[in-house]
A and B are shown apart, each in its own frame.
Chain A
């Protein structure tokens, strides 16, 4: 059996991260650290010297990680892992699932691939679970506000539901707020925008005459 690899996992979805960790440990790997919003990713990589870094593709930390390959002289240099050009199915699957991976030079691609596949499967499984949960929670008031904010964003940006949800999540990450708080603000701003838009005013003026 091949020696275990050290894997650094960067994901702010705590439950999803736990799922990936469990699955990778079951494959015999060492998951060194499970980070939620690391203050200094540079120091983490230097200290733990991971062979592979698995990171949520939507994480702002990707640029930090990517610069290490170029800037760090003495530390291990993680480089972005791309399943070879012929394997574009896997690349698409990783992008769709939201998984990206960095590896230290010289690692056997097949071993890394197996790890990335595990991460993709867990990310997908978590996504399905969240959808199930969303259905169950639909009655809750908070969920309704999030749905309302998603609806407004979908209309404003003519995007689909998943994209609108990601938009809310990114805003929450940037502001350090909960998604429900961001949703309240989005509803506030976008509803006010609709009321004051030229179309809205015209409709109001014409209302009484017709």
Chain B
């Protein structure tokens, strides 16, 4: 990190480091860097690939990273002190909507008859009925990515649709996304809920089948956000505004043509970013059923507290189970569009 300048509108910081986890929805950060959107705003940004969400979170909280791609519920969980000491954190921009899949191992999908249907309840009930049937003693082990994540909450909601008790009928574990496919193939887990490209990759290599999507469960939900600490946002307001404008420009560039999306996929496949995990993709499938991952389009990037209500409820329950009290004010502060509006409206 470099030295602050003191111009009214130029960024206080010229050099930034932002964290990301290898997932398709790191795309806006990667495009903004490779396409030069950050540079256009006077920012020199390095992207730091992180192996665990917990580590990314701790580095942002301690100031080792200026900001990061975060799971949408993460800024709220951090602000409320879930999983670590409280740290006021903001989500001034959405990096993606949708993108999660519930994927079961091919063996479990075949045995239970759970396949992707028009509604997620169909596959959930198929798995539930099979689990309640005779001779199916072994509890399936299902993975999600992090305790405070849409993936965790969506997996629980899907299980509940099938009358499956997440505590008793299955075993839940957390694994980092890049480990999901290998764990599924080796039989270490029997299914997972994770973001793209991991669901599609599991299907592509024959290890698993997609049986429900996050969009089916929570239509058009915020999935990843840009996360910065409140103290960082207060110290570097012009840098934050420049960052937000660069990401909006990256999103508009991605929307402009299929050729641009093709180019974006080539950038994603570079070793510092997603590496081998996107080699099987011929194009960046965006806005396509059933996953409907969105990285651009009307209202895509602007955060609102209403959007965060999907995951505010499970977070409030987790907090109360640990003896805390949920604060609606904190929800409104985390997902307020005030920074986004200030940066993009002239």
Interface residues, chain A, with chain B CB atoms under 8 Å away: 39-40, 42, 57-67, 69-71, 73, 80, 82, 85, 91-92, 95, 100, 153, 156-159, 163, 167, 170-171, 173-175, 182, 185-186, 189-190, 193
> A156 touching B272 by the CB < 8 A rule?
yes
Kindly state the separation between the CA atoms of A175 and B22 in the bound complex, as whole angstroms.
Answer: 13
> A80 touching B48 by the CB < 8 A rule?
no
User: Total A-B pairs in contact (CB under 8 Å)?
Assistant: 107
The one of B49, B84, B188, B318 that contacts A70, using a Cβ cutoff of 8 Å: B318
> B49 touching A167 by the CB < 8 A rule?
yes
Question: Main secondary structure on chain A at its contact with chain B?
Answer: helix
B173 interfacial contact with A, CB 8 Å: yes
Interface residues, chain B, with chain A CB atoms under 8 Å away: 15, 17, 22, 44, 46-49, 51-55, 58-59, 62, 64, 83-85, 144-147, 167, 172-176, 178-179, 188, 270-272, 275-276, 318
Report the minimal beta-carbon distance from A18 to chain B, rounded to whole angstroms: 22
Given contacts A190-B271, A193-B270, whether A67 and B173 have CB atoms under 8 Å apart is yes
The one of B47, B58, B85 that contacts A157, using a Cβ cutoff of 8 Å: B47
Kindly state the separation between the CA atoms of A195 and B47 in the bound complex, as whole angstroms.
Answer: 22
Report the minimal beta-carbon distance from B7 to chain A, rounded to whole angstroms: 22
Find chain B residues with CB under 8 A from A58 CB.
51-52, 55
> A71 touching B173 by the CB < 8 A rule?
yes
> A80 touching B84 by the CB < 8 A rule?
yes
7 contacts between A and B (CB under 8 A): A64-B176, A70-B83, A82-B84, A95-B62, A100-B54, A100-B58, A158-B46
Known: A60-B179, A100-B54, A159-B48. 20 other contacts (CB 8 A): A39-B188, A40-B188, A58-B51, A59-B51, A62-B55, A63-B53, A64-B175, A66-B174, A70-B318, A71-B173, A80-B84, A157-B46, A158-B44, A163-B46, A170-B51, A171-B271, A174-B51, A174-B178, A175-B276, A189-B271
Given contacts A71-B147, A95-B64, A159-B17, whether A63 and B52 have CB atoms under 8 Å apart is yes
Kindly state the separation between the CA atoms of A186 and B146 in the bound complex, as whole angstroms.
Answer: 30
Find chain A residues with CB under 8 A from B49 CB.
167, 170
Kindly state the separation between the CA atoms of A171 and B273 in the bound complex, as whole angstroms.
Answer: 9
Find chain B residues with CB under 8 A from A73 CB.
167
Find chain B residues with CB under 8 A from A65 CB.
54
> B85 touching A175 by the CB < 8 A rule?
no
Find chain A residues with CB under 8 A from B167 CB.
73
Q: Closest 3 interchain pairs by CB?
A: A67-B174, A62-B52, A60-B176
> B54 touching A62 by the CB < 8 A rule?
yes
> B173 touching A85 by the CB < 8 A rule?
no
Find chain A residues with CB under 8 A from B84 CB.
80, 82
> A82 touching B85 by the CB < 8 A rule?
yes
Given contacts A63-B175, A71-B172, whether A80 and B83 have CB atoms under 8 Å apart is yes
Find chain B residues with CB under 8 A from A186 CB.
271
Report the minimal beta-carbon distance from B183 to chain A, rounded to whole angstroms: 9
> B52 touching A60 by the CB < 8 A rule?
yes
Kindly state the separation between the CA atoms of A175 and B270 in the bound complex, as whole angstroms.
Answer: 14
Nearest opposing residue in chain A for B45, CB measure = A158
Find chain A residues with CB under 8 A from B85 CB.
82, 85
Given contacts A62-B52, A67-B173, A69-B83, whether A189 and B46 have CB atoms under 8 Å apart is no
> A66 touching B54 by the CB < 8 A rule?
yes
> A95 touching B271 by the CB < 8 A rule?
no
> B17 touching A173 by the CB < 8 A rule?
no
> A167 touching B272 by the CB < 8 A rule?
yes
> A67 touching B146 by the CB < 8 A rule?
yes
> B272 touching A153 by the CB < 8 A rule?
yes
> B318 touching A185 by the CB < 8 A rule?
no
Among B15, B147, B318: residue with most chain A CB under 10 A: B147
Find chain B residues with CB under 8 A from A159 CB.
17, 46, 48
Kindly state the separation between the CA atoms of A8 and B318 in the bound complex, as whole angstroms.
Answer: 27
Kindly state the separation between the CA atoms of A69 and B188 in the bound complex, as whole angstroms.
Answer: 20
> A64 touching B173 by the CB < 8 A rule?
yes
Find chain B residues with CB under 8 A from A63 CB.
52-54, 145-146, 174-176
> A80 touching B147 by the CB < 8 A rule?
no
Kindly state the separation between the CA atoms of A61 and B146 in the bound complex, as whole angstroms.
Answer: 11
Nearest opposing residue in chain B for A168, CB measure = B271
Report the minimal beta-carbon distance from B53 to chain A, rounded to whole angstroms: 5
The one of B51, B52, B178, B270 that contacts A189, using a Cβ cutoff of 8 Å: B270
Report the minimal beta-carbon distance from B47 to chain A, rounded to whole angstroms: 7
> A66 touching B147 by the CB < 8 A rule?
yes
Find chain B residues with CB under 8 A from A64 CB.
173-176
Report the minimal beta-carbon distance from A150 to chain B, rounded to whole angstroms: 12
Report the minimal beta-carbon distance from B87 to chain A, rounded to whole angstroms: 10
Kindly state the separation between the CA atoms of A61 and B173 in the bound complex, as whole angstroms.
Answer: 11
Nearest opposing residue in chain A for B269, CB measure = A189
Kindly state the separation between the CA atoms of A156 and B146 in the bound complex, as whole angstroms.
Answer: 30
